[in-house]
Chain A
Amino acid sequence: MSELSVRVGGLALRNPFLLASGIWGESGVSLAGAWAAGAGGVITKSIGSGPRPGYPNPTVETYGSWGLLNAMGLPNPGIHEYPQEIRVALAAGATVIGSIFGGDAVEFAELARAMAATGVAALELNLSCPHAEGFGTEVGSDPADVEAIVRAVVREVKLPVIAKITPNAADPAGLAEAAERGGAAAVSAINTLRAIAIDTTLRRPVLAHGLGGLSGPAIKPVGLACVWQIFERVRIPILGVGGISTPEDALEYILAGARAVEVGTAVTFAGIGVFGQLVSGLGHRLDELGYRRVEDAVGVAHETRRAGDR
């Protein structure tokens, strides 16, 4: 059986499947449940400086089994109240990655210090939520901002820092390069794609916020392209995110350059049991292909293509 444990920039994972931020992360018992279901690690909801209710409903729209549009609006109880949930997940033995969002480098650094104190194994910086005024993509679309925020956080904490990159920019790989310059241990790509739905009978946007972010199988090729381009331009490891619901999807991301992957919408569509299926399915596929370790397959599609080009 292939070795599924991976190291991602100093972060040790028992397998490469992480629960993506924003899914199930409000309650520590839920995070522990995702760990018990087989996730290699769990990423918290993105946590800010204070309690934030998020947007009013409707906050979601579904498209069959291929897509999910959401604008939750970064709801979270704030960094002072949230640690009680992290403690529950840590007590269950989970590898927990703390996701944080701030409006500038100073706020990110303060949040990073507080989040690191909870005992999480790594931090993920939300530089990519596509629908929150003053946060996410708004502070994560300019390489200079990304570099400054990452540098400020890295200076503040000893933990591995993962920068989550937006696809809603002209050059996502350039943002990953900026994160690498700032000292990030890894980048995750992608967050949701900015999107909107209109109800034709009511003649208004479905989501209360209007704009939202699209996730699910529909965005897999887009996420893969970002990972592909980032792999060619940075040396730090990549966490692939976007539309992963089968072992084959994960293998595609790994061959494109991802060392681990994040799973979100598939939990919504298929239930938490999807982690068990992904872990065993990927092990089986790697065996078939003759890879002893996940890490042996990372980015292989780039080499195959170059070999073919010669």
Chain B
Amino acid sequence: MRTAVRVTERIVETPSTVTWRFPFPHAAAPGQFVMLWIPGDDEIPMSLSYTGGASKGVTVKAMGATSRHVVELPAGTAIGVRGPYGNAFDLSARRILAVAGGSGAAVLAPAAEQARAQGASVRVALGATTAPELLFLERFRAMGASVDVATDDGTAGTRGYVTVVAERALAEERFEAVWTCGPEVMMRKVLDAAARHGVPAFGSVERHMKCALGMCDACALGPYHVCVDGPVFPAERLSAAPEFGVFHRNSAGQRVRS
């Protein structure tokens, strides 16, 4: 399952985000992730931002020490990839609201793309700190989604949180499903809003991961493991997990407040 490959393309998406494309022949569905090994550095879980065909992709935001290092590595870098792991978004809904905060758009874009290809209507609430950090804005538009934008500093779209834009969409339109990915406090608000409108909602969550096989317990979330039972969870499961929006476990297994 682990394959050593070379990065074929490095695309700068925003000032803090790059996409790596690489050959990886295993079939993958939107929502799934891979363990990306940077030899000599670390191996980190990354949701696939491109899932179709033999060329897969991940979109990395410079946050932790490893991901800061990762975004600087050039095309041609040899990496290890294992997976794909985890579950995928249910693509059966016909009217979908996707709510993305920051790099959360990386996992929602391929899901939205496939839903559009199957004829679903997709509305996207896309949030970022500032206009240049809006991830995959053009990609969402190109697939025929309608996009509502929010930025913290007001440089594009509504000034403020993407949750406000999402609430507005929920009030205006009747959706069959809400998908969300982003900071957990944001996701919690989105899931609560969806519940108020009676719309089934699903969130893709992140946790520190080691094995990605359901063994080490690093990514425990209530009775679930994000690596095998997720990363996409229905709202009811996330709401019931004591960790969601509250704490995660670090490399030592200590509880750390989110």
In the complex, the answer to whether B213 meets A62 with C-beta atoms within 8 Å is yes
Q: With A199-B4, A202-B80 as given contacts, are A52 and B213 in contact (CB-CB < 8 Å)?
A: no
In the complex, the answer to whether A267 meets B215 with C-beta atoms within 8 Å is yes
A115 to chain B, nearest CB (A): 16
Q: Tell me the residues in window 4-53 of chain A with beta carbons closer than 8 Å to chain B beta carbons.
A: 22-27, 29-30, 33, 45, 51-53
CB neighbours of B251 from chain A (8 A):
53-54, 75
Q: With A24-B217, A57-B42 as given contacts, are A201 and B4 in contact (CB-CB < 8 Å)?
A: yes
A22, A26, A206, A267: the one within 8 Å of B214 (CB): A267
A22, A56, A68: the one within 8 Å of B42 (CB): A56
B213, B249, B253, B254: the one within 8 Å of A60 (CB): B213
The 7 A-B residue pairs with the shortest CB-CB distance in the complex, in nearest-first order: A57-B43, A26-B217, A201-B4, A53-B251, A27-B220, A51-B252, A26-B253
Q: Which residue of A lies closest to B211 (CB)?
A: A60
A271 located at the interface, meaning its Cβ lies under 8 Å from any Cβ of chain B in the complex: yes
Show 14 A/B contacts (Cβ-Cβ < 8 Å), sorted by A: A23-B217, A26-B216, A29-B222, A33-B223, A45-B217, A45-B253, A53-B251, A57-B44, A62-B213, A78-B254, A81-B254, A199-B2, A199-B39, A268-B211
B218 located at the interface, meaning its Cβ lies under 8 Å from any Cβ of chain A in the complex: yes
CB neighbours of A201 from chain B (8 A):
4, 78
Q: How large is the interface on A (under 10, 10 to 19, 20 to 34, 35 or more residues)?
A: 35 or more
B114 to chain A, nearest CB (A): 28
Q: With A268-B213, A268-B215 as given contacts, are A202 and B39 in contact (CB-CB < 8 Å)?
A: yes
Q: Tell me the residues in window 29-61 of chain B with beta carbons closer than 8 Å to chain A beta carbons.
A: 35, 37, 39-44
In the complex, the answer to whether A75 meets B253 with C-beta atoms within 8 Å is yes
CB neighbours of B212 from chain A (8 A):
60
In the complex, the answer to whether A30 meets B223 with C-beta atoms within 8 Å is yes
A203 to chain B, nearest CB (A): 10
Residues of B within 8 A of A (CB): 1-2, 4, 35, 37, 39-44, 78, 80, 210-218, 220, 222-223, 225, 242, 249-255
Q: Tell me the residues in window 60-98 of chain A with beta carbons closer than 8 Å to chain B beta carbons.
A: 60-62, 68, 70, 72, 75-78, 81-82, 84
In the complex, the answer to whether B43 meets A58 with C-beta atoms within 8 Å is yes
Q: How many A-B residue pairs have CB under 8 A?
A: 114
Cα–Cα, bound, A264→B215 (Å): 8
CB neighbours of A72 from chain B (8 A):
210-211, 216
In the complex, the answer to whether B214 meets A271 with C-beta atoms within 8 Å is yes
- With A58-B80, A60-B210, A204-B39 known, 20 other A-B pairs at CB within 8 A are A22-B216, A24-B217, A51-B253, A51-B254, A54-B210, A54-B252, A57-B42, A57-B44, A58-B37, A58-B43, A59-B216, A60-B213, A60-B216, A61-B2, A72-B216, A76-B253, A77-B254, A84-B255, A208-B42, A271-B214
In the complex, the answer to whether A30 meets B217 with C-beta atoms within 8 Å is yes
A199 to chain B, nearest CB (A): 6
Cα–Cα, bound, A82→B214 (Å): 20
In the complex, the answer to whether B80 meets A199 with C-beta atoms within 8 Å is yes
Q: With A30-B220, A75-B252, A201-B4 as given contacts, are A24 and B210 in contact (CB-CB < 8 Å)?
A: no
CB neighbours of B78 from chain A (8 A):
201-202
CB neighbours of A30 from chain B (8 A):
217, 220, 223, 225
CB neighbours of B44 from chain A (8 A):
57
CB neighbours of B37 from chain A (8 A):
57-58
Cα–Cα, bound, A45→B223 (Å): 17
Q: Tell me the residues in window 123-179 of chain A with beta carbons closer than 8 Å to chain B beta carbons.
A: none
CB neighbours of B4 from chain A (8 A):
199, 201-202
CB neighbours of B215 from chain A (8 A):
22-24, 60, 68, 70, 264-265, 267-268
Cα–Cα, bound, A77→B217 (Å): 13
CB neighbours of B242 from chain A (8 A):
29
Q: With A58-B80, A77-B253 as given contacts, are A26 and B218 in contact (CB-CB < 8 Å)?
A: yes
Cα–Cα, bound, A271→B214 (Å): 8
CB neighbours of B2 from chain A (8 A):
61, 199, 206
CB neighbours of B250 from chain A (8 A):
53
CB neighbours of A25 from chain B (8 A):
217
CB neighbours of A77 from chain B (8 A):
252-255
Cα–Cα, bound, A59→B78 (Å): 19
CB neighbours of A68 from chain B (8 A):
213, 215
CB neighbours of A84 from chain B (8 A):
255
Cα–Cα, bound, A78→B254 (Å): 8
Q: Max chain A CB contacts within 10 Å: which of B4, B217, B223, B255?
A: B217
In the complex, the answer to whether B223 meets A57 with C-beta atoms within 8 Å is no
Q: Which residue of B lies closest to A76 (CB)?
A: B253
Cα–Cα, bound, A61→B249 (Å): 22
In the complex, the answer to whether A78 meets B252 with C-beta atoms within 8 Å is yes
CB neighbours of B255 from chain A (8 A):
77, 81, 84
In the complex, the answer to whether B35 meets A58 with C-beta atoms within 8 Å is yes
